[in-house]
Structure 1
């Protein structure tokens, strides 16, 4: 059982109280460092898990009761970033289920000077152990000490009695995980990162005020993800960075005349140039994230060639990463972010046509117009063999519509908006996969031809690349066959009825 003490020296009254009934034996002082881990977006915490490393032991525990689920002894210098870096077993399985492609990052390191005391009965037998660490945080901060009463097998009555004696001093058993106290002391907000829009405003709020708040949240996401890109921690930092830019450009392009169009057009162009600069790095990330899938679809004799090909992709990615690192450290980038933030914080921007319109009717109008475009473009492809270009155009319209639904979701019934977004996401994901394959086919064809004309092309590598060039178009055609059914589900009478109810 654990007790959170209000001050470091409160251990003495506890030991004195126990000494009235037991013999207390002080043991040698111990020193330990414990490092706690989670992903940047708190996936372990959100799933009730704790990861920590103490000395050469890595543990996965339950956040609720702090019981160890599994422990792994590791060799000196060994570190783990992704779930697949762990050896097969419980830890790998549990982390794979929640981490996906995110990296495990250190949150804080707790330094402990542990003062253990054995509690002996009149026969000189150890019946319990009192453990009091004097804690401090690496980098500063002193958490409250946490006393632990450790049970010894065979002496349950003494364990209960010792805890009762401690409670008689006014101590209460710990009510929440100690880790939450450590987070507070380290000024961390568990679960605090989210890419979802989090605003609650009255439907009568002026459109400019709502759009301003949304844009400031996107700007915050851009700034939060920049360090992870610079340190190359995992590919999701770049992904979230790009999505925040794309959503910024989307709402400023669709919510027309909420701000004066001249300055907004300039910022959209500058942000578009920034996003385009990161396209190639993201394409390479997508390649590498799908390496296992692509490798598995080829015959075993061609897999070694694909391995060599992906090694070259990794090398190309390293070079591209350095370019993006230089870009995000440049004065031009820093000026763009500063200029954009200053503009959004400026409360003296002149009025424009839609700046004072109430946000509810404004959102209904622009969502209704975008939904109509999606329906028109989609219905034109029903009953035909859709061209990839037309599917790409529909994908862009779907993305714009989904963004609008997410931007203004707080204005509408959650269950109805969620149903629309879920169906739209299914359609958008399908169209996105088709488009990704178009990009990869084009890129791989160029790489294949370039490698074929190199001085000493490896036949195994060419065979592996050729295998992928056979698979990609086949897979793309399979996905295109699912388009008709997927679009019909999105444009079903139920969804159309909801859209008429919400947007007119």
Structure 2
């Protein structure tokens, strides 16, 4: 498929021909006085456009598609600088991680952008096509025209014609394209078919997403935010249960944490009994998902951990990796049971019903406006962060740093929730500043937690007699390294906090609020 920047790719504005020879030849009539067109056989194929659930390929300017017809199956990756193709010996299985893609240039192209995420079908299209040859006055073939008409999910048919000139006849192909474009029936498309279909899918997702808007009642705004988080929880359940990739569980947990924070900080805008049950069930869900996620993080970072070793080697961590996989298998059984339980199913149903009723009612006048809620709760959360930040010293107990991290995370979730009613520029600056502090707080916490966790893992491995001496020594080296990194992060935190506590940040917080 020609790139949209290629003038030899055209979009036809007429009625779909569905491969019928009459309408296609009639459409090419503007160039028929110079060239004779001869149609090939009508072909049917399917084209499936793939991406990760968070659209990593599209964000990187890449597209991935699986094309199949009666003769062949092929995987195609398109990028601004070219196209890669890998022929397939058998039908692929989706979803697929990068290492599960067939070896070749396509996997090499899209693998880094996929990261640890799996690609899966986003849009499936049916294509009817014909190849048409163009002959000049000497009856020589000068170009091949590929006429394709694609449909997806009942959307209007898109008809594209791409011209492929034979060597030495580029001028003829350009002339044909110009004659067709001058007729008014053809135009140079602004986007590739992949971009059209993927953008259409993205628009559908945005349209379904609950959004807080200015002037909402406070209770409606809180319920709307919680409905959005519930969507994210439910959207990631199947991928978590099927173990498609580790980020489904991560995204589910983020939605749970956001829900818990919003309930804690703004839940008084909702009925008390609803909040009490929601808080209880969300805590249960958070507890059920923690062990597997913690193990996922270790397994994802295992190769990076090996680079930290100065005495040990990557092979010395093999027993540790085996143990992590064993613990993960056990933890996932509990996780899957929780996500497939009647308790989880019934809570999701009742939670959605209760929140939807609040949104549909239009809200209570007594709850005030979303703007009033934003001003009040962001100021309170910001003061809590400042109070705890002022108590941080290089030698203060780790509990103070952990408390600051939790309060900073709560403030971040509030800022994200109320972003639609805040002034964009100062809001962006405050979030950026807060992210920097959170990164350092995370480094402090990670150093402490990982150092302690490695000791716990070592004890469990000793109990199971599954650790070699080399593995235990390597884990000890890593534990000591994390302790050192924690001390360094504490120094960085002490240096960074004055920037967040300064008057300029306080002014931005005041300026961004509605």
Q: TM-score range by the shorter chain?
A: 0.7 to 0.9
Residue 348 to residue 286, structure 1, CA distance change in 2 (3 Å): closer
Q: Which runs of 4+ in 1 moved over 6 A?
A: 84-91, 139-142, 193-197, 348-354
Q: Of 3, 8, 29, which residue of structure 1 is paired with 2:11?
A: 3
Matches of 2:489 and 2:365, distance apart in 1? 41
SS for the counterpart of 1:346 is helix
- Matching residue of 1:46: 59
Contact 1:230–1:328 under 8 Å retained in 2: yes
Q: Of 190, 194, 208, which residue of structure 2 is paired with 1:179?
A: 194
Contact 1:119–1:126 under 8 Å retained in 2: yes
Contact 2:223–2:358 under 8 Å retained in 1: no
Q: Of 165, 176, 182, which residue of structure 2 is paired with 1:162?
A: 176
Unaligned residue ranges in structure 1 (runs of 5+): none
**Residue 421 (structure 1) aligned with residue 438 (structure 2):** no
Offset from partner CA, 1:118-163 (integer Å, 9 cap, x none):
21222232111122235455x8878433222222232233213322
Contact 2:39–2:133 under 8 Å retained in 1: yes
CA-atom RMSD, angstroms? 3.3
74-83 vs 362-371, which deviates more? Answer: 74-83
- Matching residue of 1:153: 167
1:277 shift after superposition? 0.6
Instruction: With the length of structure 2 as denominator, give the TM-score of the two structures.
Output: 0.85
**Residue 133 (structure 1) aligned with residue 144 (structure 2):** no
Matches of 1:100 and 1:240, distance apart in 2? 15
1:263 shift after superposition? 2.5
Residue 301 to residue 358, structure 1, CA distance change in 2 (3 Å): closer
- Matching residue of 1:361: 372
Residue 503 to residue 121, structure 1, CA distance change in 2 (3 Å): closer
Instruction: With the length of structure 1 as denominator, give the TM-score of the two structures.
Output: 0.86
Contact 2:50–2:120 under 8 Å retained in 1: yes
- Matching residue of 2:84: 71
- Matching residue of 2:484: 474
Residue 122 to residue 37, structure 1, CA distance change in 2 (3 Å): same
Q: Of 262, 283, 300, which residue of structure 2 is paired with 1:289?
A: 300
Residue 321 to residue 455, structure 1, CA distance change in 2 (3 Å): closer
- Matching residue of 1:59: 76
Offset from partner CA, 1:443-482 (integer Å, 9 cap, x none):
3212212222444642222222222222221222221221
SS for the counterpart of 2:346 is helix
- Matching residue of 2:137: 122
- Matching residue of 1:232: 243
Residue 193 to residue 230, structure 1, CA distance change in 2 (3 Å): farther
Unaligned residue ranges in structure 2 (runs of 5+): 1-8
**Residue 275 (structure 1) aligned with residue 286 (structure 2):** yes
86-95 vs 360-369, which deviates more? Answer: 86-95
Residue 362 to residue 348, structure 1, CA distance change in 2 (3 Å): closer
